[in-house]
Chains A and B, each alone.
Chain A
Amino acid sequence: MTKKMTPQVHRKSWFRRVRRQPGRALAWGGLVLLLFITLFPFWWMFKEAITHNRNLFGDFGLWPRDPTIVNFKRVLGLATSAEQQAEFPNQLVHLDFIENVINSVVFTAVVALGSVASSSLAAYAFARLNWRGRNVVFGVFLAALMLPPIFGVLPNFILMKQLGWVYTWNGLLAPYFLMSPFAIFFLRQFFLNIPQETEEAARLDGLGRWGVFRRICLPMSRAPVSTLLTIQAVFAWNEYLWPQLITNGSHAQVLTVALSFFVLNTPGVARDWTGFMAATTLTVIPLVLFMLAFGRKLVTNLQLGSAGK
């Protein structure tokens, strides 16, 4: 009985609250509208990805009349030529997004692990060791954060050309692998907060600097290190300018580059929209999973400390 009553009482008070505070209701309306604007494009992308190309004109419902997974098969290179013919006859781009997905996963993992590993070592030296010139060198690292990427891209491309690394994995990975000024900056903050006493106790117990780093600092910073890994992974997954320059059209093409290559090389009059949307969905899905797994952590820790790249 009481259980039945509660929602009613609640609803009644809700209505009363709204009537008493029209401003608040209006504000909620605004927030809901913002949420709709934010999320609708993703729904629309997915909806078109499961629509037949022939239904593209005129099917403006929220759910396609006759949903299909053929577009995903097409972009992944799994569709029969009959299926391809039926959907989009004049496909000029060879579609094999399975390869690109694998490339993107490898690229993301190597960049995230490599940059976090080397950056955590450097962050330790900046936060916990005393050496001459430390602040100056740290200043130089910080300044690197300010350098617009295009500035480095031009000479780096020449360097890769001289090394013969254009269109190779080496060339793709090299500039990211060794360091990220942002990662050093980010981890240094956390290493600075480890109490001096803890480190001293560990040293008295016979740990060297490497031991302190490996057995004290890293384990105590597990949360920020894993946060950083995920941030770096998202950055790497989204990276476009350098991968495009260095791998466009080659076997090391990552997903973002493959997607833009697909869009730009498909004739302009009647475009393969459903194919585009299926390929785009592939780039978005990992981020949905990321959000489900780490969303709470991300939004509760989001502060300016993690703002820049």
Chain B
Amino acid sequence: MLRVASSARPTDRFGQAVTVTALVGDKAPPLSVRLQGRPRRAQGDGRAALLFILPALVGLVVFYLVPLVRGLYNSLTDYNILQSPKFIGTQNYQSLLHDDIFWNSLKVTAEYVGINISTQMTGGLLIAVLLDRLTRSIVIRCALVFPWLVPNVAVATISLFMLDRTVGVVNRVLADVHLPGQYFYQSPHEAIATVALVNTWRNVGYTGLLLYAGIQIIPKYLYESARIDGANEWRVFRSITLPLLRPVLALVLTVAVIGSFQIYDTVSVVYGTSPLPQANVLYYYIYTVAFGEGRMGYASAIAVVLFAILGTLTFLELRLLRASRSDLR
């Protein structure tokens, strides 16, 4: 691809020079118009553009668009990888309605997202405000964001060890303060909350720094006048920070929710091929159905449902939080 483009250069160069000179000599559009990036050449750069986007276009078509179409089609088929897909209409979707494991995993995923997102956003806001009011230290910010850079698999392993019933340090501390030991990942009641809080631990610093960056663009004079008026910390947070942070908050929330629904790595590492039903999240269930049971068609149908849920949620969130409108502008 690179070779092709560079061999095309001489003609390009010539043609370009002519076009530009012609424009300048003829009637160059006023500067203000040009700055807005309006098309200046009638014929455009179509052929060159095609060469430039070709590699990415191949990637898009082969690994995103074709899979999208295939996935939608496969969801309407009976398909185990060995035989070719057999069209069965909406039968997979009908079976989903009566699939208790599916409904359970939907419930578990909702619990996960609820616990994860609520703690992550609250914690993130707390971190953002603390950083904003206390310090500009780069080292502290680096430390807070560090867990986010670490592989989920590593986070899962570390937490699995620290939360172990017999050798884990957390249970040791609980024993020291005379609290009963907990099974965390292995307890039906605590499993999904444990997975959720472990991932909150990983992401909360990152969320905090994103919100911190959002707070930085709120004009300082608003805070100064609030203080002159004698507003206390809480009042300033409620009346200035929170409302003016809303657009950033909405976007961060949207991205976080989309990410949260895709919980898989932690569950896979902690539970292997047999998770507790209470920790069988949607991603994991799709994975099991597709690669454990080899029912590609059915798995695709669940994936379509997940996709639809994510699309709807994103739309609703952006609407409800009126992300596009800021009180600043």
Q: Which of B69-83 contact A (CB under 8 A)?
A: 70-71, 74, 81
B45 sits at the interface (CB 8 A): yes
Contact (Cβ within 8 A) A118 B59: yes
| Chain A residues in 8 Å Cβ range of B206 | 302
Task: Assess whether A204 is in contact with B17, with CB atoms less than 8 Å apart.
Answer: yes
- Interface segment out of the listed B34-42, B87-95, B98-106, B188-196: B34-42
Within the complex, the shortest CB–CB distance from A43 to chain B, in Å, comes to: 11
At the interface with chain A, which of B46-54, B110-118, B177-185, B221-229? B46-54
CA distance A297 to B17 in the complex (A): 39
In the complex, the answer to whether B41 meets A141 with C-beta atoms within 8 Å is no
Report yes or no: B157 in contact with A34, Cβ–Cβ below 8 A. Answer: no
**Chain A residue with minimal CB distance to B140?**
A35
Identify the stretch in A65-73, A81-89, A284-292 within 8 Å (CB) of chain B at 4 or more residues.
A284-292
Q: Which residues of A contact B126 (CB under 8 A)?
A: 30
Q: Does A63 contact B (CB under 8 A)?
A: no
| Most B Cβ at <10 Å: residue of A118, A144, A159, A196 | A118
Contact of B49 among A39, A131, A291 (CB under 8 A): A131
Knowing A121-B53, A210-B5, A273-B161, say if A154 contacts B299 (CB, 8 Å).
Answer: yes
Please state if B158 and A203 are interface contacts (CB–CB under 8 Å).
no
The answer to whether the Cβ of A211 comes within 8 Å of any Cβ in the partner chain is: yes
Is A296 in the interface zone, CB < 8 Å from B? yes
A38 to B142, CA, bound (A): 11
Please provide the chain A residues from 14 to 50 with a CB less than 8 Å away from any CB of chain B in the complex: 23-24, 27-28, 30-31, 34-35, 37-39, 41-42, 44-45, 48
Say yes or no: is B236 at the interface (Cβ < 8 Å to chain A).
Answer: no
The answer to the question of A8 belonging to the interface, with a C-beta cut-off of 8 Å to chain B, is no
A126 to B10, CA, bound (A): 23
User: Which of B65, B158, B169, B233 has the most chain A CB atoms closer than 10 A to its own CB?
Assistant: B158
In whole angstroms, what is the CA distance A40 to B88 when docked? Answer: 54
Instruction: Give min CB distance, B38 to chain A, whole Å.
Output: 9
In the complex where A34-B144, A203-B17 touch, is A291 in contact with B55 (Cβ < 8 A)?
no
Residues facing A in B2-20 (CB within 8 A) are: 5-6, 8-10, 12-13, 16-17, 20
Measured between alpha carbons, how far is A157 from B121 in the docked complex, in Å?
35
Indicate whether B67 reaches chain A with its CB closer than 8 angstroms. Answer: yes
Whether A290 lies near B159 (C-beta < 8 A) is: no
Cα of A57 to Cα of B172 in the assembled complex, Å: 10
**Contact yes or no, A31 B149, CB < 8 A:** no
Partner of B56, one of A151, A184, A210: A184
Tell me what chain A mostly uses at the interface: helix, strand, loop, or mixed. Answer: helix
A144 contact set on B, CB distance < 8 A:
60, 64-65
List residues of B (235-270) whose CB comes within 8 Å of A's CBs: 248, 251-252, 255, 258-259, 261-262, 264-265, 268-269
Contact check, A131 vs B45: say whether CB atoms are below 8 A apart.
yes
Contact flags B20-48 to A (C-beta < 8 A → 1, else 0) = 11000000000000110101110011101
CB neighbors of B among A222-264 (8 A): 234, 237-238, 240-241, 244-245, 255-256, 259-260, 263-264
Question: Cβ of A48: which chain B residues have Cβ within 8 Å of it?
Answer: 161
B67 touches A38 (CB 8 A): no
Taking a contact as CB atoms under 8 Å apart, the answer to whether B146 and A291 are in contact is yes
| A7 cross-chain contacts in B, Cβ below 8 A | none
Q: Is B133 an interface residue (CB 8 A)?
A: yes
Highest count of chain A CB atoms <10 Å: which of B1, B13, B126, B273:
B13
- Residue B107 interfacial (CB < 8 Å): no
Q: Are B255 and A276 in contact, CB atoms less than 8 angstroms apart?
A: no
Cβ A129 vs Cβ B48 within 8 A? yes
Residue pair A122, B55 in contact (C-beta under 8 Å): yes
Q: Does A76 contact B (CB under 8 A)?
A: no
For residue B213, CB closer than 8 A to chain A, the reply is yes
Q: Can you add 7 more A-B contacts, CB < 8 Å, to A131-B45, A240-B264?
A: A34-B127, A121-B55, A150-B262, A200-B20, A240-B153, A295-B142, A296-B138
Residues of chain A having any CB pair with chain B under 8 Å: 23-24, 27-28, 30-31, 34-35, 37-39, 41-42, 44-45, 48, 56-57, 60, 117-119, 121-122, 124-126, 129-132, 134, 137, 140-141, 144, 146-152, 154-159, 161, 174-175, 177-179, 181, 184, 192, 196, 200, 203-204, 206-211, 213, 234, 237-238, 240-241, 244-245, 255-256, 259-260, 263-264, 273, 276-277, 279-280, 283-284, 287, 290-291, 295-296, 298-300, 302-304, 307-308
